[in-house]
Amino acid sequence: VITLKPNNLVEKFQEIRSQTEDICRPLEIEDHTLQCMDDVSPPKWHLAHVSWFFEEFILKPYVESYREFSAEFGFLFNSYYNAVGVRHPRPKRGHISRPTLKTVLDYRHYIDNNMKDLLVSAQSTEIMRRIQIGLHHEQQHQELLCTDIKYNLFCNPTYPTYNSELSENICGPSVPTWCNYEGGLVDIGAKSDTFAYDNEFPRHQKFLAPYALESRMVTNGDYLQFIDAGGYQHSEFWLSEGWDFIQTNKQFAPLYWLKKDGAWFEYTLAGLQPIDLSGRLAHISYFEADAYAAFRKCRLPYEAEWEHAAQAVLPKSFFILDQNNNEELKQPLGDLYGVGWQWTIDSYLPYPGYRAESGALGEYNGKFMCNQQVLRGGSLFTPKNHIRFSYRNFFPTNTRWQRTGIRLAKSL
């Protein structure tokens, strides 16, 4: 988790801001304005929006001499903050061919220069806290940039390659085991000495019955057994809403799986690749995760079960994990963090005693606590120092364009 001290503020800020631009570097100029579905935002929009966040929530309220870059950018690049004013509709972000990419990059550098002055001069606790939120916010968008770029390129029938050296095949042991937990009264939620979003507080107690988690996430090979056994054709595995959804939308395999001449392929950022059976399954909906768990006569984890296990794994697997070091992945639960988001059985709800932040930043998390599921663990696309054991991601049940996968659980 990024910890900001006055002496590393400038360095951390520059590092994270340039990582965002690095993600866009392999793109062609035409790729930057593309929005192939409502949930996806064009890369150019992300580049501008994360800069607007610093402008709106830090520069405007805290720097008296600050002059905004453009009077139109608040309308174009506000995502969902009603308290800040009206905005351009999300599904039409791909219509914004102007400002050009060059202007958006100029905007980024204008914001960076203004922020640098603030980073070296003002050190109030509230400004520091907002800078920290702004940087974690930018890291969230770095992940969205990856998933949105992937979706947009996938919609091109030639299946272009983003980076031929980027492997999404995270492999682990072929035979999973079960890791058992006694449960009892456990502490859940962020500790107050570290950065966390408001939805991870307050830390509170939760009673867990004895349970087990599978030692690794579900693989493509596991899931292929479900497909081959007619999993998508048997309603008894499916939630009613899920069954209706897959029929209506004709979803009978994970999002990026394609069958060609009887063989399965998967679209990745390195282009179309043969399915790796030992790779971790990704890009499935909550409906598919739940149906697979039912097929295996198991269930998905409760988020408190996941977090209780994850707190015990820390710090061994935390941050050590990277895709070139599969040794960690061979450990039981070695893929808890940073491989794939794991759907939990829990609806995204406030913790007991939750209080949203005051002001517009209170819209960051709290207003989405309805009709979404919690996901845990972070994915390959999540910046490593953004992941934490208490992190609660959330998406609607039919979402598939994030790197979402399955860890099985069962009650003992």
Helix axes 101-121, 125-154, angle to 10 degrees: 160
Query: Between residues 79 and 251, which has the closer beta carbon with respect to Fe ion?
Result: 79
Query: Between residues 73 and 238, which has the closer beta carbon with respect to Fe ion?
Result: 73
Q: Does 79 bind Fe ion (CB under 5 A)?
A: yes
> Shortest approach of Fe ion to residue 266 CB, angstroms?
28
> Shortest approach of Fe ion to residue 380 CB, angstroms?
21
Q: From edge to edge, which strands make up the β-sheet containing 341-347?
A: 393-395, 373-376, 341-347, 404-405
> Shortest approach of Fe ion to residue 363 CB, angstroms?
11
> Shortest approach of Fe ion to residue 351 CB, angstroms?
22
Q: Does 20 bind Fe ion (CB under 5 A)?
A: no
Query: Between residues 115 and 310, which has the closer beta carbon with respect to Fe ion?
Result: 115
- Residue of minimal CB distance from Fe ion? 79
Query: Can you read off the two tokens belonging to residue 107?
Result: 């905007």
Query: Between residues 219 and 399, which has the closer beta carbon with respect to Fe ion?
Result: 399
Query: Between residues 50 and 387, which has the closer beta carbon with respect to Fe ion?
Result: 50
3 state SS for the chain = CCCCCHHHHHHHHHHHHHHHHHHHCCCCHHHHHCCCCCCCCCHHHHHHHHHHHHHHHHHHHHCCCCCCCCCCHHHHHCCCCHHHCCCCCHHHHHHCCCCCHHHHHHHHHHHHHHHHHHHHHCCCHHHHHHHHHHHHHHHHHHHHHHHHHHHHHHCCCCCCCCCCCCCCCCECCCCCCEEEECCEEEEECCCCCCCCCHHHCCCEEEEECCEEEECCCCEHHHHHHHHHCCHHHCHHHCCHHHHHHHHHHCCCCCCCEEEECCEEEEEECCEEEECCCCEECCCCCHHHHHHHHHHCCCECCCHHHHHHHHHHHCCCCCCCCCCCCCHHHHCCCCCCCCECEEEEEEECCCCCCCCCCCCHHHHCCHHHCCCCEEEECCECCCCHHHCCCCCCEEECCCCCCCCEECCCEEEC
Query: Between residues 79 and 399, which has the closer beta carbon with respect to Fe ion?
Result: 79
> Shortest approach of Fe ion to residue 234 CB, angstroms?
39
Segment near Fe ion (CB under 5 A); pick from 32-40, 75-83, 242-250, 348-356: 75-83
Segment near Fe ion (CB under 5 A); pick from 25-33, 39-47, 72-80, 167-175: 72-80
Q: Does 317 bind Fe ion (CB under 5 A)?
A: no
Query: Between residues 79 and 365, which has the closer beta carbon with respect to Fe ion?
Result: 79
State which amino acid sits at residue 363: E
Segment near Fe ion (CB under 5 A); pick from 76-84, 267-275, 301-309, 387-395: 76-84
> Shortest approach of Fe ion to residue 55 CB, angstroms?
13
Query: Between residues 134 and 340, which has the closer beta carbon with respect to Fe ion?
Result: 134
> Shortest approach of Fe ion to residue 52 CB, angstroms?
9
Binding residues with Fe ion: total (CB under 5 A):
1
Query: Between residues 77 and 256, which has the closer beta carbon with respect to Fe ion?
Result: 77
Segment near Fe ion (CB under 5 A); pick from 74-82, 120-128, 257-265, 276-284: 74-82
> Shortest approach of Fe ion to residue 8 CB, angstroms?
24
> Shortest approach of Fe ion to residue 183 CB, angstroms?
36
Segment near Fe ion (CB under 5 A); pick from 24-32, 79-87, 148-156, 380-388: 79-87
Residue found under tokens 């030639």: 158
Backbone angles phi, psi at 87, to 5 degrees: -150, 165
Query: Can you read off the two tokens belonging to residue 217?
Result: 């996430």
Give the residues lining the site for Fe ion (CB under 5 A): 79
